[in-house]
Amino acid sequence: MKTILFITAMLLSCSIYSQEEKENEEKNQENTRETPQMVYICNSMSSKRYHYKKDCAGLKNCKDSIVKVSIRKAKNFERTVCGFETHRESSSGRDN
């Protein structure tokens, strides 16, 4: 009987410990989450790229306004990284 109680107590304490670890990990992830990376897009219907720099050569032909948006929003509009800046993404190891 003592063995059963001991095993039950051990399982219960392990379960509580793992739940606390999970909660701590979630809190750490929330605290370390970076603000969304911002990129520049040409605000025209035909524009298909996003740019890391406002003075990128790819934005020189923009006939509309240049807008700063999150990279997530740019990708939601099916924009891809500008050809002038693809080296920047691959060399820095970004996961956008």
- pLDDT tens figures, 21-49: 666 666 655 554 555 799 999 999 899 99
Residue 84: which of 39, 29, 26, 43 has the closest Cα?
39
Q: What percent of the chain has pLDDT over 70?
A: 59
Average pLDDT in the 58-74 region? 93
Residue 64: which of 83, 40, 93 has the closest Cα?
40
> pLDDT at position 2, please?
76
Q: What's the pTM?
A: 0.54
Scan for tokens 């807008």, then name that residue: 67
> pLDDT at position 94, please?
47
Q: Is it the case that residue 11 has pLDDT exceeding 90?
A: no
Q: What percent of the chain has pLDDT over 90?
A: 44
Interatomic CA distance for residues 68 and 10, integer angstroms: 54
